Structure 1
């Protein structure tokens, strides 16, 4: 065993010397290598110069990183701060009417999400004109300028009052399918600033009830669903109004593995939006069924489905105030049970008045969606250009829901001139972060062969998955961690990264 260890360390030292990663002294015909580390001998015998050629070394040894890990412990923060694709949303306007500054108030109020109702009432019997599609693209571009993302829904009517909905008009199935096909290029081109797409199109407010064209039959609902699944970018989820539809289509809720699959099934692409959350015993028809047992079964299904898929919505005016569940205890219990990612901050004010009076608004704001808290981060102390850097990350999700859309962690090596080398951490899709559960990852990442030697500060971040937004701080996830003047841990608002107060020596 001793001979085997000596051979191993000799090989390690040989690789390290070839990469200028260890100390050594040149002699006449060889190099004497010294190596320090756990389990390493104090010195390794002379290695012939003939063996020092990199070409003679196995690739795995050339990339081997045996340096100790720098351990960084992080403290939690209770601060409330905005994060993309979660939280309270603000009710905006048709996306075709969004200007470069029309939603500045949303950012100023600390939100990062808006609801954009596409109004197709003028096109119930005709194609969407190219001018409208062009304006949609412009509106999404303006959304991008303001650092926001959208919950998108298209509908053929927006009744002024809840009594007007009975006379609301929608379009024929053929017209709906044609419009969805026309919208497909717009949705695909602007997927980066779309958080989720709600079903829409059918019935009053696009809520999949009271259709004037019989679109609420099971066959027609399925046809609209399929058209939307074809049009909505594969990287984004669709949401439908009623859990009863989901349960009929997919009796078994999807699993996390199905969600994370390279090609997710239809069941793993559809979540739900509840537009009368907490407002009555069945949430104003959301969980309506023939019997109380069937209604309870729908609630169970919704809770199981939303544990994997996205869920959000809004409250509404309660038909009977005595049936509404308006206390802080109600929202904190059911928000967690149904894994709510977002809620409409502009409706219904009666609920917000109760939550403010009960003192839970700050907690509610923190809990909606994900809240990712780092426990520790570790990385190699020394690395070489073209070699590997080992890393470990431990975190937990203190929010009610997992992130809706794919997003990975990254380490950043920041030079003395503040240039950052981005090192994406494979396998760290943050959708794996289940509420309340700890999560640990570890691995190795290869440094660019052209990376200059020197001391690099280490940051960690969770940038947007879209290349167009990856460097925009407003679209980066902020971790729920406190700054520390002692350790140097500090959130970098200008870059959307967390400085760890640690360094790695590239040599």
Structure 2
């Protein structure tokens, strides 16, 4: 992890966002054929939780807290995540101090208020040759961090394994920790203190393979379970540099295929760094690799030359649009009328236009809005949107009960909310679908299904 300066990138992004967001949009009504509604797919850039370009924000022991003002302004740049990187160099031989623990909690509180999520990493040195901590200290620190992880699991998107060696990148450990056995010990300890729903990322594919003694990728039968292999993804901090990406890979072709398969269920992301041997990370190379490896986020701040090349070549906005998941309505079919306290046949087709799937659970709801009173009624759906993989279509076919919803005429919406109860009402954590003229900010953000339903009296 290198020192990064991203202010120039940030403010240019704000200007670009304003130019895009100020454009007027037409109100359109999707066509209805045989009672099937079809939806126009949009290429607009907008933020969605846990995906896209993000900023790296480092802090050394008991250093300056995050700026609430800066965090709040990031959504204007369509940023929904930050990598908060805590260096614990003052605690290599002792417990984490109260001031440091307070700093960590305070920063996560600010991230929550700003409507963002955090990727977390912890390390003890930011230079090759700098010293890290022995395992006994790492284990002690992880026990201290356990309550923070639990209290803030709502706003922690992912945790990078960290702790070992320079920048927490699992090399150059002065305590001999950069071995499969020691890495296994650190990772297992980290997994044990994290809430089950938080996934971890390791620095190289071979590290994961050696730790779990398996070169098999995660498959649907273990996905999203408590099994350790199903909770571990990948971060590449020298992405698109050519060859082995500075040692990220040992068998490039096989390991990239492994990540491509693994990343259908566990997250990948990271940052670029200076290319090797004249390699040129062109738009086409970036597009192909992000699709292939199912990238869900990428650091805006490093490596600046690569980011600027994409801006100058015209593909930066494309990558901003398609990093991570990008769900969109394709079509839907509903009855025009149903009986009170009966069921509603729901058939919705959703496509994922992004490079990656969702990794964290979301909850989907039909919302019925009474056209006379404006009263909203919410009906839970069973669909798991994590199963909507890149370039694939998910069919949501259900018959939820309408118990307790009175007779009347209703407009219908689809709401996709965070799994955490405290974030469910907040628009910043709702998933916006990539369709034209469907997003409404009412009720914490909903997607208009463009259908009117009549509930008749019995």
Fold match, TM over 0.5?
Answer: yes
SS in 1 for 2:399: strand
**Whole-Å Cα distance in 2 between the matches of residues 144 and 295 of structure 1?**
38
SS in 2 for 1:151: strand
Alignment-derived partner of residue 258 in structure 2? 301
**Whole-Å Cα distance in 2 between the matches of residues 208 and 84 of structure 1?**
28
1:142-291 matched pairs, under 5 angstroms: 142-158=110-126, 165-248=127-210, 249=212, 250-260=214-224, 263-287=225-249, 289=250
- How far 1:295 sits from its partner (Å)? 3.6
Alignment-derived partner of residue 50 in structure 1? none
Alignment-derived partner of residue 320 in structure 2? 365
Q: Is the CA contact (8 Å cut-off) linking 1:398 and 1:436 kept in structure 2?
A: yes
Q: Is the CA contact (8 Å cut-off) linking 2:265 and 2:359 kept in structure 1?
A: no
**Whole-Å Cα distance in 1 between the matches of residues 93 and 242 of structure 2?**
36
1:324-363 matched pairs, under 5 angstroms: 324-363=279-318
Work out the number of aligned pairs and report it.
Answer: 416
Choose the corresponding residue for 2:105, options 134, 137, 155.
137
**Whole-Å Cα distance in 1 between the matches of residues 39 and 252 of structure 2?**
44
1:70-89 matched pairs, under 5 angstroms: 71-89=36-54
- How far 1:335 sits from its partner (Å)? 0.8
Q: Is the CA contact (8 Å cut-off) linking 2:123 and 2:132 kept in structure 1?
A: yes
Alignment-derived partner of residue 367 in structure 2? 412
Q: Is the CA contact (8 Å cut-off) linking 2:93 and 2:133 kept in structure 1?
A: yes
**Whole-Å Cα distance in 2 between the matches of residues 352 and 136 of structure 1?**
29
Matched, 1:376 2:331: yes
**Whole-Å Cα distance in 2 between the matches of residues 441 and 472 of structure 1?**
24
**Whole-Å Cα distance in 1 between the matches of residues 280 and 264 of structure 2?**
22
**Whole-Å Cα distance in 2 between the matches of residues 184 and 154 of structure 1?**
13
Alignment-derived partner of residue 274 in structure 2? 317
Alignment-derived partner of residue 503 in structure 1? 452
Matched, 1:473 2:427: yes
**Whole-Å Cα distance in 2 between the matches of residues 84 and 210 of structure 1?**
34
**Whole-Å Cα distance in 2 between the matches of residues 230 and 386 of structure 1?**
45
**Whole-Å Cα distance in 2 between the matches of residues 78 and 157 of structure 1?**
41
Q: Greater CA deviation, 304-313 or 129-138?
A: 129-138
**Whole-Å Cα distance in 2 between the matches of residues 211 and 424 of structure 1?**
49
Shift in alpha-carbon separation, 1:501–1:96, aligned structure 2, 3 A: farther
- How far 1:88 sits from its partner (Å)? 0.2
Q: Is the CA contact (8 Å cut-off) linking 2:131 and 2:173 kept in structure 1?
A: yes
Shift in alpha-carbon separation, 1:136–1:380, aligned structure 2, 3 A: farther
SS in 2 for 1:457: strand
Question: TM-score if structure 1 supplies the norm length?
Answer: 0.79
Q: Is the CA contact (8 Å cut-off) linking 1:96 and 1:132 kept in structure 2?
A: no
Q: Is the CA contact (8 Å cut-off) linking 1:307 and 1:338 kept in structure 2?
A: no
Displaced runs of 4 or more, over 6 A: none
**Whole-Å Cα distance in 2 between the matches of residues 499 and 299 of structure 1?**
39
**Whole-Å Cα distance in 1 between the matches of residues 280 and 240 of structure 2?**
5
Q: Is the CA contact (8 Å cut-off) linking 2:45 and 2:78 kept in structure 1?
A: no
- How far 1:302 sits from its partner (Å)? 2.0
- How far 1:134 sits from its partner (Å)? 3.1
- How far 1:364 sits from its partner (Å)? 1.1
Matched, 1:106 2:56: no
- How far 1:99 sits from its partner (Å)? 4.3
- How far 1:377 sits from its partner (Å)? 2.1
Q: Is the CA contact (8 Å cut-off) linking 2:85 and 2:122 kept in structure 1?
A: yes
Q: Greater CA deviation, 136-145 or 190-199?
A: 136-145
Shift in alpha-carbon separation, 1:264–1:285, aligned structure 2, 3 A: same
**Cα-Cα RMSD:** 1.8
Q: Is the CA contact (8 Å cut-off) linking 1:376 and 1:395 kept in structure 2?
A: yes
- How far 1:180 sits from its partner (Å)? 0.9
**Whole-Å Cα distance in 1 between the matches of residues 329 and 355 of structure 2?**
16
Alignment-derived partner of residue 462 in structure 1? 416
**Whole-Å Cα distance in 1 between the matches of residues 339 and 226 of structure 2?**
38
Q: Greater CA deviation, 439-448 or 199-208?
A: 439-448
Choose the corresponding residue for 2:93, options 99, 105, 125.
125
Deviation by residue 1:3-57 (Cα, 9 ceiling, x = unmatched): xxxxxxxxxxxxxxxxxxxxxxxxxxxxxxxxxxxxxxxxxxxxxxxxxxxxxxx
- How far 1:140 sits from its partner (Å)? 1.2
Shift in alpha-carbon separation, 1:447–1:138, aligned structure 2, 3 A: farther
